[in-house]
Amino acid sequence: MSARTGVPPIKSQGIKTRLVPWIQSIVPTDFHGRWIEPFMGTGAVAFNVAPRRALLCDTNPHLIGFYAAIASGEITPETVRDFLTRQGEALSSKGENYYYFIRDRFNAEHSPLDFLFVNRAGFNGMIRFNRKKEFNIPFCRKPQRFAQAYVTKITNQVAWVSKIIQMKEFTFKCQDFNATIENATPHDIIYCDPPYIDRHVDYYNGWNDVHERELFRKLSDFGGKFILSTWHHNDYRENEYVKHLWSAYHVLTREHFYHVGGKEENRNPVVEALVTNFITTTIQRHEETSVQRILPDPVAA
């Protein structure tokens, strides 16, 4: 594990960047199979774990399309720098209306570079789609968003991801979690980071009681190891699904603070949970420790 956690170029509510070292710490050292993620999201966990082989999936075609474009060479650090510099200059001169012009173009044409633009210029780094599958996050109200330093930061993030993909055997697929889990073998490790039930708005598709229980059944029937990320409790309530479903397995907890989210109640401290169906010395130590604390992380713009 590297001393410094890498940050992916795509942002989202619920991003796991600050929790990556914790997740990495419980991955078995003798793991030699595939790392499988049915809910890839931004890719923060997979790119930091950086296994030799990985199957990374999501139902959001724009997330998969963006990283698949990096894998194919369609998107490079150079194309990102050039695109964001040009579009940033246009945003600076034309203002808020230009963001909505690009958002409309993305919703019509689905360009991976336009997706990156609206993701990094949208309000509070959120990803949200309406029922028509249209990206509907409003502008961040910062016409100077793509200053040179910011473009360089994003370019470096793309370069980091590109290097990992080139060195590893990563496969990206747009499919639901059922198909992904069914593709796994007992030699693989499945890491699941589904939308947090009863907390976050959906990123692309909904998530409800039926989905949570189906995921529980699928993972319970899986013959290999799994790790699940979910929320345990906050100052107002607890996750009843941990109590009634996931408590059948090892449940580790740690306090975290989310700065990204459209609702104020989703930006308060929350106790995260990692659920596993296997035990290691590290997991034993975690279980013997009460709720651990992570310092609030500033929004990585």
Q: Are 292 and 35 in contact (CB under 8 A)?
A: no
Residue 30, pLDDT score: 86
Residue 217, pLDDT score: 98
Residue 205, pLDDT score: 75
* 134-174 pLDDT, tens digit each: 999 999 999 999 999 999 999 999 999 999 999 999 999 99
Exposure string over 199-227, b if 16+ CB within 10 A, otherwise e: bbbebbeebeeebbeebbebbeebebbbb
* 208-229 pLDDT, tens digit each: 999 999 999 999 999 999 999 9
Residue 135, pLDDT score: 97
What length does the chain have? Answer: 301
Domain spanning 17-61+168-293, CATH architecture: 3-Layer(aba) Sandwich (3.40)
Amino acid at 267: R
Half-sphere exposure of 274 (CA within 13 A, CB side): 29
Stretch 179-194: mean pLDDT, rounded? 97
**Residue ranges of the domains in the chain?**
17-61+168-293, 71-162
Most distant pair of Cα atoms in the chain: their distance: 57
Query: Which of the following CATH numbers is that of domain 71-162: 1.10.1020.10, 3.90.550.10, 1.20.58.100, 2.130.10.10?
Result: 1.10.1020.10
Q: Are 219 and 257 in contact (CB under 8 A)?
A: no
Residue 244, pLDDT score: 94
For residue 135, which of 105, 161, 163 has the smallest C-alpha distance? 105
For residue 224, which of 34, 20, 24 has the smallest C-alpha distance? 34
Confidence of residue 2 (pLDDT cuts 50, 70, 90): very low
Query: How many other C-beta atoms are found inside a 10 Å radius of the C-beta of residue 280?
Result: 17
What integer best gives the mean pLDDT of the chain?
A: 90
* 62-75 pLDDT, tens digit each: 999 999 999 999 99
Confidence of residue 196 (pLDDT cuts 50, 70, 90): confident
Q: Which residues have a Cβ under 8 Å from the Cβ of 35 and sit 6 or more positions away?
A: 46, 49, 51, 53, 54, 55, 188, 189, 191
Query: How many other C-beta atoms are found inside a 10 Å radius of the C-beta of residue 59?
Result: 19
Dihedral of CA atoms 253, 209, 249, 222 in degrees, nearest 10, equals -130
Stretch 77-100: mean pLDDT, rounded? 98
Token pair 């909505």: residue: 100
* 10-49 pLDDT, tens digit each: 999 878 999 999 999 999 988 889 999 999 999 999 999 9
Within 10-99, strands assigned E span 35-37, 53-58
Stretch 166-195: mean pLDDT, rounded? 97
Number of H helices, E strands in the chain: 11, 8
Residue 202, pLDDT score: 55
Stretch 238-255: mean pLDDT, rounded? 94
**pLDDT at residue 267 tops 90:** no
Stretch 202-206: mean pLDDT, rounded? 68
Distance CA(93)–CA(145), nearest Å, equals: 12
Distance CA(225)–CA(220), nearest Å, equals: 10
Half-sphere exposure of 157 (CA within 13 A, CB side): 23
**pLDDT at residue 1 tops 50:** no
**pLDDT at residue 177 tops 50:** yes
Confidence of residue 300 (pLDDT cuts 50, 70, 90): very low
